Amino acid sequence: MSVLLVEDDATIAIVITTALEAEGFDVVRCDSIAARDRLLQERRFKALVTDVMLTDGDGIETIGTVRALAPDMPVIILSAQNTLDTAVRASDTGAFEYFPKPFDIDELARTVRQAVGSASARGGGEDEAPAVGLPLVGRSAPMQVVYRMITRVLRNDLTVLVLGESGTGKELVAEAIHQLGHRKDGPFVAVNTAAIPAELIESELFGHEKGAFTGAVARHIGKFEQAGGGTLFLDEIGDMPMQAQTRLLRALQSGTVRRVGGREEVRVDVRIVAATNRDLEPMIAVGTFREDLFYRLNVVPITLPALRERADDIPALARHFLTLAAAEGLPRRQLSDDGAALLARQPWRGNVRELRNFIYRLALLSREDSIDSETIAGLIAQTRRSEGDADGAGIDTAVEHWWSSGRPPSGQVYDAALAAFERPLFIAALRETSGNQLRAAQLLGINRNTLRKRLHDLAIDPQESLRRS
């Protein structure tokens, strides 16, 4: 089941090869017209996937040779010259399909499978196999670095640590590593270590025996064992409580787990992909993240760039989300070029997730089939207003800043945030009432005893706060 790929861009070639291999093809690759013709003389291929501009010639102009050597072989043409002319020339050759770059790798893999005949692609039978491929959209230079790193971990079980701000696609990368890698037939099990109460983490990860603790009414198999033969995705790893970190480290070192309340060490066969949006190094410095665990996890780091660092990808992502929105039943909309350009200039602090939500809202609210910059500017202004109204903009920014500059460990966030917010609030109220706690409580609209207790908890001295002003 061999496909011949003629592509001189090594990175694109790797991505295509990986996607086609995931579809069950052997890929033979070369990077010139001369090599192509030599290979076609030597053996038969089920399909040809070829770039147009090659160092020694034009893949379309020389298609005659291909037809002569392999008359019935389907040809799929890829091109970076996204002109009408190339598209017409490609279709004149009778090519099975033409893909202007950038193209959806999934769609390419699907097309090759169709071209070859779906029944034979996987040795018969499975013609409705789910399409797998690289689900990540975006071809900017920073994303090429990410793709290259992904391709390097597909044929091994090295531990991967995916880093990047919230909403940059870390989970998607973890899924891609699993789907494209050699464990794809095994399970992909994701655990959000921040979402599990601290006292249940060990039982979640390693399982427990019946009667191990109050409420353990039956044996429970943990995520490590569930992921056997596949991939275990440990998400939000920076929020894991200390004790669980120690247990996790031990499991990683020994390759075995012990269920809570169990005696036996169970050998586990998992590939670990971990992710966090937190900066682990300062956490190591203050002792909230174990350094030895960090080195265990950080074997292959993959850092996702913030969306503002790859603004080139924004138009493609926006159009991708419009397509997804339409597939989910929202009105089908097009994005005008000036609209795409305006989107590309926005800061997107919530990264791809924020862009995605914005596009869905646009699809829903826009009255025109084509979304232009005016519609987008209107929605941006409206969003800002609703987020920033009631003088809330300053607080939003402050909370964001507080959040990203080392918020406290999981389980303590709400109390710490409230304390951080109450302190300046109470001081302002006391200042306005010259330190009179009764009037300050009335101004705030809270009970005087509540105020007194909170001032005590927060160690705020009413007189001191007046002097400071």
Ligand X SMILES: Nc1ncnc2c1ncn2[C@@H]1O[C@H](COP(=O)(O)OP(=O)(O)OP(=O)(O)O)[C@@H](O)[C@H]1O
What b-and-e string marks burial along 164-182, b requiring 16 or more CB atoms within 10 Å of the CB?
A: bbbbbbbebbbbbbbbbbe
288 lines the binding site for ligand X (CB under 6 A): no
Interacting span for ligand X (CB under 6 A) from 132-140, 290-298, 379-387, 393-401:
132-140
Q: Which amino acid is at 53?
A: M
- Looking at the Cβ atoms of 167 and 207, the one nearer to ligand X is 167
Kindly report the number of other CB atoms within 10 A of residue 117's CB atom. Answer: 12
- Looking at the Cβ atoms of 171 and 422, the one nearer to Mg ion is 171
- Looking at the Cβ atoms of 276 and 375, the one nearer to Mg ion is 276
Do you know the residue count of the chain? Answer: 469
The CB-of-108 to Mg ion minimum distance in angstroms stands at 27
SS3 assignment, position 301: strand
Neighbour-count burial of 275, counting CB atoms closer than 10 A to its CB (0-12 exposed, 13-18 middle, 19+ buried): buried
**Which of 59, 133, 167, 241 is the binder for ligand X (CB under 6 A)?**
167
SS3 assignment, position 42: helix
89's contact among Mg ion, ligand X, none, with CB below 5 to 8 A by partner kind, is none
183 contacts 222 by C-beta, under 8 angstroms: no
136's contact among Mg ion, ligand X, none, with CB below 5 to 8 A by partner kind, is ligand X
352's contact among ligand X, Mg ion, none, with CB below 5 to 8 A by partner kind, is ligand X
178 lines the binding site for ligand X (CB under 6 A): no
| Cα–Cα distance for residue pair 9/80, rounded to 1 Å | 11
| Cα–Cα distance for residue pair 56/98, rounded to 1 Å | 21
| Cα–Cα distance for residue pair 223/220, rounded to 1 Å | 10
Interacting span for ligand X (CB under 6 A) from 31-39, 50-58, 125-133, 134-142:
134-142
3-state secondary structure 139-200: CCHHHHHHHHHHHHCCCCCCCEEEECCCCCCHHHHHHHHHHHCCCCCCCEEEEECCCCCHHH
353 lines the binding site for ligand X (CB under 6 A): yes
106 lines the binding site for Mg ion (CB under 5 A): no
302 lines the binding site for ligand X (CB under 6 A): no
Interacting span for ligand X (CB under 6 A) from 103-111, 162-170, 362-370, 390-398:
162-170
Subset of residues 333 to 352 that bind ligand X, contact rule: CB under 6 A: 352
| Cα–Cα distance for residue pair 4/296, rounded to 1 Å | 39
- Looking at the Cβ atoms of 168 and 203, the one nearer to ligand X is 168
The CB-of-82 to ligand X minimum distance in angstroms stands at 20
User: Taking CB under 5 A as the rule, which mask of x and - marks residues 170-189 in contact with Mg ion?
Assistant: -x------------------
Alpha-helical (H) ranges within 227-268 are: 242-254
**Which of 37, 171, 269, 422 is the binder for ligand X (CB under 6 A)?**
171
| Cα–Cα distance for residue pair 52/8, rounded to 1 Å | 10
User: Taking CB under 5 A as the rule, which mask of x and - marks residues 107-126 in contact with Mg ion?
Assistant: --------------------
The CB-of-194 to Mg ion minimum distance in angstroms stands at 10
Interface residues with ligand X (CB under 6 A) are 136-138, 164, 166-172, 277, 317, 320, 352-353, 356
